Amino acid sequence: MRTRELTHNQRVAIARLHALLELLPTALDKELAPAGITSFEFTLLEALHETDGHRLRLSALASRTNATLARLSRVVTSLERKGLVVRAPCEEDGRATNAVLTDAGRTVYLESTGLYADAVQRMVLDGLDDAGVDQLASLSFAILGRLDPGRRLTITAGPEGGVCAADPIAIRVR
Residue at 113: amino acid letter = T
Report pLDDT for 158. Answer: 53
Percent of the chain whose predicted confidence (pLDDT) is above 70:
87
- Rounded CA-CA distance 1/149 in Å is 29
Report pLDDT for 147. Answer: 86
How remote is the C-alpha of 120 from its chain's centroid?
13
Report pLDDT for 167. Answer: 42
Report pLDDT for 66. Answer: 87
Residue at 121: amino acid letter = Q
How sure is the predictor about 90, in pLDDT bands with cuts at 50, 70 and 90?
Answer: confident
Q: Is pLDDT of 159 > 50?
A: no
- Rounded CA-CA distance 85/79 in Å is 6
How sure is the predictor about 148, in pLDDT bands with cuts at 50, 70 and 90?
Answer: confident
How remote is the C-alpha of 32 from its chain's centroid?
15
Average pLDDT over residues 26-52: 96
Average pLDDT over residues 51-77: 92
How sure is the predictor about 34, in pLDDT bands with cuts at 50, 70 and 90?
Answer: very high
Architecture label for domain 8-127: Orthogonal Bundle (1.10)
Of the given ranges (49-58, 60-69, 120-129, 145-154), which has the lowest mean pLDDT?
145-154
Say what the pTM is: 0.82
- Rounded CA-CA distance 38/22 in Å is 15
CA terminus-to-terminus distance, the chain: 37
